[in-house]
Amino acid sequence: MPEFYEKRKLSCKEDVVLALSIFVVFLDFVNAVVHHSDTQLRTSIFALLVFLFVFTVRKLYPNPSKRIWPWISPIYDNGVMIIVAVFFLFHVTLLNVPILNVDLYNVYENGDIIGHSLGGLMMWTIFAKMALEYSRVNNKNWSAKTIIKYSMLALFVIGILWEFIELAASLTILPHVDEPISNKIRDIIMEFIGAGLMAVAVLKTKYPFDLGEWE
C-alpha cells in the first residue's frame, strides 16, 4: 500500500449509515418504477451507478498511484463517501416522497434550497479532500485556511458552471427547469451556506478528515 494512502476501516456506525443510505436510494429507485416518476428514476439510477463506480474503482485499483491520488482520494475516503451517500439519500427521496408521492422540489417553491445546500456541502467536502491530499503529496504544507480557500473557490467555479448548464438546458432540451436569475443566485448562496457549515464541522470534529492547523 502506498505510503500516502492511509486506509481507515468503517466504524460500525459508519457502516450502518452507508449501507442504509444506499438501501434507501435503491428503495427510491423501486418507488420511482412503481409510481412512474421519471425524474426520480433517472436520479436514483445515476446515484446507484456512482456507488457502483466507487466500489469498482476501489476493488480494481486498490493501490492508486501518487500522481493521480489527490484527484481520486475522495473515492477512497469512507467518511467522504458517507457524505455523498447521505446527499443522494435526501436528494433522490425528495424527488418523490414515499407515501405522499409528491415531488417536493415542484410542490414547494423553495424546495431546491435543501438540495443546493446539501450539494454545496457534499462538493466542498470532495474539493477539500482533494486539496488536502494534493498538499500532502506535493509537500505544500497548506494550512486549513488555505485548503478552505481553494476548495471554496472550486465550489464557486462549479456552482457558476452548473447554473450556466441549467440555463442552456432550459433554453433547449429542458424548458421546465427555467428559473429567474434571482433563484440562481439563491442556489449559489445556499451552496456556500452548506459548504460553510460543513467547513466549520470539519474544523471542529476533524471528520471526515483533519485539515490541520488554521494557519
Domain residue spans of the chain: 11-108, 113-215
Residues paired with residue 97 on neighbouring β-strands, in sequence order: 102
Contacts of range 28-37, beta carbons closer than 8 Å, 24 or more positions apart: 28/92, 28/93, 28/95, 28/96, 28/98, 31/96, 31/98, 32/95, 32/96, 35/96, 35/101, 37/95, 37/96, 37/101, 37/103
Q: Which grid cell is 105?
A: 422540489
Question: What's the pLDDT at 4?
Answer: 57
Residues 6+ apart with CB under 8 A from 122: 83, 84, 87, 194
Question: What's the pLDDT at 92?
Answer: 87
Give the Cα separation of 120 and 208 in Å (integer): 16
135-166 CB burial, b ≥16 within 10 A, e <16: bbbeeeebebebbbebbbebbeebbeebbeeb
Give the Cα separation of 122 and 79 in Å (integer): 11
pTM, 2 dp: 0.88
Question: What's the pLDDT at 6?
Answer: 58
Question: What's the pLDDT at 1?
Answer: 45
pLDDT in tens, the chain (215 residues): 455 555 555 566 778 888 899 999 998 899 889 888 888 888 899 999 999 999 999 889 888 888 999 999 999 998 999 999 999 998 888 877 765 666 666 666 677 788 889 999 999 999 999 999 999 999 999 999 999 999 999 999 999 998 888 778 777 766 666 677 888 899 899 999 999 999 999 999 999 999 999 98
Phi, psi of 100 (to 5 degrees): -75, -30
Phi, psi of 97 (to 5 degrees): -60, 125
